[in-house]
Amino acid sequence: MDDVLIVGAGPVGLMLACELGLSGVRPIVLEKRTEPSEQPRANGLGGQIIELLDHRGLLERFSEGSPFAGRAPGFPFGSVPLRFDGLDDIPLRLLLIQQPRVERLLAERAIELGAEIRRGCEVVSLAQDTEGVTLGLADGQVRRARYVVGCDGGRSLLRELAGIDFPGTTDDHVLRLGHFSTDGVADPFKPLELAGLEPGWNRTPRGRVLLTSLQHGVLIAGVREKGEPQDGPVTIEDFHAAVRRVLGRELPLGEPIWLSSTAAQARLAERYQAGRVFLAGDAAHLFPAGGSALNVGMTDAANLGWKLAAALHGRAPEGLLGTYEAERRPAAERALVQTRAQAALDRLDDEDGAALRELLAEVFAYEQPARHLATLLHGSDGRYGSAPHPLVGHFVPDLALKDGRRLAELMRAGRPVLLDLGGGAELDGAALDGSELDGSELGGRAEVGGGWIDVVSARADDPPADALLIRPDGYVAWAGSSGMPEAVSAWFTPSPA
């Protein structure tokens, strides 16, 4: 019997494979496509996932060759521009990277960590009992595992086979999106300007046309109009016909690289777990506006990965797996709120909509609204649970330690970290002495939590607490100088047999 079968080799499934591999589990990823997709469905990453990639030592690899990686200068909130000029301390960071490259890099890392990716494996049936889950494949093979995770997208068959409802709404407008080659064209936007258009969304009484570019030599164009996604692939003739319907004329777009047709959806799975079957990413939630899907989905994977590994290794406290849905479903609900608001702003094409967008642009120019929305888009406005210390339940801040390291470097192994910042914190009656450790000693391991927890003593300027207990996914489980044994027991001590 396998430990974990992951259905779907998109960014979320591959991220989960990496997280499990880091924890010593060797998952098998089943993907129905025979080859990796080259469709640039997403053009970048934004939000807390970037800090997580930094924690895993992957950010430099992902940032290589990116046209932009860093603090967000701004963001379109439902076609209302957000600007963060002068707000250097906002959490929102962006990384321009197309989805095929994200998948290639994650697949490489997953394989490095011992995962296996099997392509051309389509799941057609599911049955489970108290010991495991049995999947039937289209080629007649049968796979059995202790746990199965559905990362197979918005049309998830695994979700359907597990009997999990997916309530929500579908937009009554269709968006045709295309990437077009502009190699050899000095200014790809010049012909568009002559046609009376400008970069960004251009509204007409019949719909909207999007014109933008995120990399040299590629123009991104979109056409949004009332209707439904068409059956079959979108052709260049289909795209030009949509442009004519909305604009009333042709546009010089260049040679098509990739074309698609979709309708925005706002959906949330009624539950994230059915027995030994879990959902993550688009299989669990769909957002009607861009910018949040990969952030929420890939951080789903980080939350679930270490908990599944703890259960498989026999070190999970009672109810640990149940905290996955308890923590991640509210995060998706919050993302649905802000993406529904963005979609509503986008959808209003009349004079009332124009007035609302104009007024909100004035409001968003103030510092406090801009900060609030940056935090919302980053995905850090929520908190797991409640505790007296304000850090508990939040992603750990990246402290600069006095020996020259960053706290993020302590998280590379994907293990819990008990960080003593010199407060003399006590664990089971034995005080950590907080003595200075040199770089070779930093990151040493002590027999805490059965040897699973890395205990580190270090110094930092203006530390936020005497000590921090940090979960493998980067969230603070405990902070302060007392109560640590209870926190270790609650999160990292196995339940009695």
pLDDT computed for residue 431 by the predictor: 41
What's the rounded Cα separation, in Å, for the pair 258 and 233?
10
How much is the pTM? 0.92
Q: Provide the mean pLDDT of the chain.
A: 89
Reply yes or no on whether the pLDDT at 429 is more than 80. no
Three-state secondary-structure class, residue 222: strand
What's the rounded Cα separation, in Å, for the pair 367 and 87?
8
Q: Are strands 2-7 and 142-150 parallel, antiparallel or unpaired?
A: parallel
In the structure, what pLDDT confidence band is assigned to residue 263 with cuts at 50, 70 and 90?
A: very high
At a CB cut-off of 8 Å and minimum separation 6, what does 108 contact? none
pLDDT computed for residue 424 by the predictor: 55
Q: CA of 48: how far to CAs of 9, 12, 39, 238, 422, in Å? A: 21, 14, 24, 37, 28
**pLDDT, average across residues 263-273:** 97
Three-state secondary-structure class, residue 210: strand
**pLDDT, average across residues 418-441:** 51
Three-state secondary-structure class, residue 310: helix
What's the rounded Cα separation, in Å, for the pair 286 and 347?
17
Query: Mind listing the domains of the chain with CATH numbers?
Result: 2-167+267-378 (3.50.50.60), 172-263 (3.30.70.2450), 407-492 (3.40.30.120)
In the structure, what pLDDT confidence band is assigned to residue 386 with cuts at 50, 70 and 90?
A: confident
Reply yes or no on whether the pLDDT at 129 is more than 70. yes
